[in-house]
Amino acid sequence: MAPIQNVKGMRDHLPSDMMLRQYIVNTLTRISENHGFEPLQTPIIEYAETLEGKLGDDEKLIYRFEDHGGRRLALRYDQTVPLARVTAQYAGQLSFPWRRYAYGPSYRGERPARGRYREFYQFDLDIVGSSSPLADAEIIAILCEALAALGFPGFVTLLNHRQIIGGIARVSGLSEEAAGGVYRAIDKFDKIGPDGVRTELLKSGITPAAADHILELVQIDGTPDEVLHALSQQLADDERATAAIANLRAVLAGLTAMGVPPDQYRVAPRLARGLSYYTGVVFEAITPHWPEGSLLGGGRYDDLIGLFAGRQIPTVGLAFGIDRLHDVMLELNLGPRPRTTALAFVTLFSVDQVADSLALAAELRAAGINTVIALEPGNIGKQFKEADRRGVRFALVLGPDELARGEVVVKDLQRGEQRSLPRAAAVSLLAEALNEGK
């Protein structure tokens, strides 16, 4: 008999993991809606031609199949291409600029690795229909706000512009066609280092002199102002790169005005972002506490939606990888670690008091207190142990003496304290504990 197991690269998430994942998603949802973003949901299955021709070299990772009707279908690769389809399909029903967020699974047929899975969950944010650098700044500001809210230490968001890399290629003597090879090579910088990138550039037919010049420029470092000043001098003869530097300056001004701490971002000319549909500002968040790559990233893609809509619709967005955030938070011991969703455990004193205990549980739930109830009456000590094993903080007892006095016994299993309280006071005590934990 074949072993019982899940598909490699696709994970089961047991309750303890799911509670942390839900905390991450709830935090991202709260921050997104605080900025006026609206929810969107799309199917995980699209027509194959919807995804094909949009992803560059990564297209080979699409899961494709044919259904019983002979239709060529594909599993969602990310939530960006479906957003482009939705924008074109429902353009008459949408108000631009449109701020949207979406959460759900996507699928890529790649080799599983630490922090990289074949089924993965993303939380996407996009502003559709605006070319303003303030749109880029707002997306990046939300990225920084979210990582700070989740407790990530020492994170930095790296910023660049695709036309800065294009300009570096052009001033190094490369044609537009050859610039694509520069994107792909530079995108591997943090994995293979400058020597590895030089080797990649030489393999693509770039001369040693051009490769050395490219490496010199992409390694410019310093404060955002220092990096942009150096780039403006080096790329002064390239009109598109000069415009890109001005655009990046405007984005940085927006971040300053929005109150984003300056130590949370910097300009990195080596940042390329691999997906071919990016057209403008690109960004990635990193932390020294996670050496396996970026935490998340995004950028501006002004042409992708136009492939469906028949006209350019400027868009900027990012994708939070829930799996990666979850894994890093586990490793760094970030976020809450609840063992259960319940705060209260209502015991069953005896068969005669079952109805009264059920009524107490209903009263607690009506007050917003998550409550689990025992299923077998008798042996209160055993029920206390069950509540403690589940990680529930408070166990409540309602016996005949408590009913006669209008009281409830409340035992704090974390502190080992127990007292009898009037019923209303018991509910208030738990409500206060609930508010303290939020």
Answer yes or no: is pLDDT of 204 > 90. Answer: no
pLDDT at position 85 is 93
pLDDT band, very low/low/confident/very high, at 334 (cuts 50, 70, 90): very high
Averaged pLDDT, 252-269: 97
The DSSP result for 173-185, as a single string, is T--HHHHHHHHHH
Q: Give me 363's structure tokens.
A: 């009263």
Q: What is the pLDDT of residues 379-428, one digit of tens each?
A: 999 999 999 999 999 999 999 999 999 999 999 999 999 999 999 999 99
Burial annotation 138-155 (CB, 10 A radius, 16+ → b, else e): bbbbbbbbbbeebebeeb
| Contact of 345 with 380, CB cutoff 8 Å | no
State the CB neighbour count (10 A cutoff) for residue 163. Answer: 24
Q: Give me 351's structure tokens.
A: 């068969």
Q: Is the model's pTM score more than 0.85?
A: yes
State the CB neighbour count (10 A cutoff) for residue 218. Answer: 23
Dihedral angle, C-alpha 217, 220, 225, 228, nearest 10 °: 10
Q: Which of 25-29, 178-182, 425-429 has the lowest mean pLDDT?
A: 178-182
Distance (Å, whole) CA 65 – CA 67: 7
pLDDT at position 404 is 94
pLDDT at position 66 is 95
Answer yes or no: is pLDDT of 46 > 90. Answer: yes
Answer yes or no: is pLDDT of 87 > 70. Answer: yes
Beta bridge pairs of residue 64? 74
Q: Residue 287 carries which side chain, given as an amino acid letter? A: T
Answer yes or no: is pLDDT of 263 > 80. Answer: yes
Q: What is the pLDDT of residues 304-329, one digit of tens each?
A: 888 888 889 999 999 999 999 999 99
The enclosing H or E element of 299 equals strand 296-300
Averaged pLDDT, 245-253: 98
Q: Give me 416's structure tokens.
A: 């080992």
H, E, C per residue of 313-331: CCEEEEEEEHHHHHHHHHH
pLDDT at position 274 is 67
Q: What is the pLDDT of residues 107-159, one digit of tens each?
A: 999 888 877 899 999 999 999 999 999 999 999 999 999 999 999 999 999 99
Distance (Å, whole) CA 23 – CA 26: 5
Q: Which residues contact 47 (CB under 8 A, 6 or more apart)?
A: 71, 72, 73, 74
pLDDT at position 207 is 87
Answer yes or no: is pLDDT of 275 > 70. Answer: no
Averaged pLDDT, 238-242: 95
Q: Which residues contact 315 (CB under 8 A, 6 or more apart)?
A: 83, 84, 87, 126, 127, 128, 129, 300, 301, 302, 304, 305
Q: Which residues contact 96 (CB under 8 A, 6 or more apart)?
A: 128, 129, 130, 313
Averaged pLDDT, 270-276: 78
Q: 136 in helix, strand or coil?
A: helix
Q: What is the pLDDT of residues 90-109, one digit of tens each?
A: 989 999 999 999 999 999 99
Averaged pLDDT, 249-272: 96
Q: Residue 421 carries which side chain, given as an amino acid letter? A: L
pLDDT at position 11 is 93
In percent, the amount of the chain with pLDDT more than 70 equals 99
pLDDT band, very low/low/confident/very high, at 438 (cuts 50, 70, 90): low
For the chain, give the mean pLDDT: 92
Averaged pLDDT, 214-224: 92
State the CB neighbour count (10 A cutoff) for residue 74. Answer: 20
Q: What is the pLDDT of residues 418-437, one digit of tens each?
A: 999 999 999 999 999 988 87
CA-to-CA dists, residue 431 to 160, 243, 272, 277, 363, angstroms:
48, 56, 50, 50, 12
